[in-house]
């Protein structure tokens, strides 16, 4: 891939692995869990993620994708859903790696508007992060450990972790403009 766009693949792969870790924090008995009557169940969110990624990459980005009826695993469990998420994402990487700058910046249809493909790609990443965050809230409400995604959590930390929770922490490495 053009080195200028390698970060797209690296980010997509990393975000997929983060999503996988959150999904695997649930058990099959929790697939029907919903914190509120207006909320989606765990199962509905996982299915939406798999199906909507297929739509984004197939319909909006033109990637080769399986038929919609073949996206969901025949026996839907946490493990089969997480495995399918990774399998589909991994299969998209060679297609994305073969795209050049002109392809990434070309405008294409996105629902009822036109957008650059790179914008659509980032929209997908953000959409996936949104649903992953929903599920981390579900885990917290269920009293389960929340896996680390972008840094330490109340449940997962490590030596050298330096979360930014204070003004002092936010100022590390900061030099006022006149001192630069």
Mean pLDDT of all residues in 30-53? 98
Q: Is the pLDDT of residue 144 over 70?
A: yes
Task: Name the average pLDDT for the chain.
Answer: 94
Pick the range with the lowest mean pLDDT from 21-35, 37-51, 96-110, 140-154. 140-154
CATH 3.40.50.300 for domain 3-149, yes or no, is: no
* CA-closest candidate to residue 5, choices 106, 86, 104, 116: 104
- Domain spans in the chain, listed from the N-terminal domain onward: 3-149
pLDDT tens-digit map of 90-123? 999 999 999 999 999 999 999 999 999 999 999 9
pLDDT score, position 180: 58
Backbone angles phi, psi at 110, to 5 degrees: -135, 100
Q: Is the pLDDT of residue 178 over 80?
A: no
pLDDT score, position 127: 96
Q: DSSP class of residue 95?
A: H
Task: Tell me what percent of the residues of the chain surpass a pLDDT of 70.
Answer: 99
Backbone angles phi, psi at 53, to 5 degrees: -65, -40
């Amino acid at each position: 891939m053009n080195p200028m766009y390698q970060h797209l693949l690296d980010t997509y792969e990393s975000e997929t692995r983060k999503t996988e870790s959150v999904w695997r924090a649930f058990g099959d008995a929790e697939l029907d869990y919903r914190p509120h009557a207006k909320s989606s169940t765990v199962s509905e969110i996982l299915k939406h993620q798999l199906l909507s990624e297929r739509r984004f990459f197939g319909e909006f980005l033109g990637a080769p994708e399986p038929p919609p009826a073949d996206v969901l695993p025949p026996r839907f469990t946490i493990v089969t859903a997480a495995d399918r998420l990774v399998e589909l994402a991994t299969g998209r990487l060679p297609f994305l790696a073969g795209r050049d700058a002109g392809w990434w910046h070309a405008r294409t249809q996105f629902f009822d508007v036109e957008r650059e493909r790179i914008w659509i790609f980032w929209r997908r990443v953000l959409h996936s992060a949104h649903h992953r965050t929903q599920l981390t809230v579900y885990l917290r409400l269920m009293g389960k450990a929340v896996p680390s995604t972008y840094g330490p959590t109340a449940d997962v930390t490590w030596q050298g972790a330096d979360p930014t929770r204070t003004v002092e922490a936010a100022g590390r490495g900061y030099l006022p403009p006149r001192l630069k």
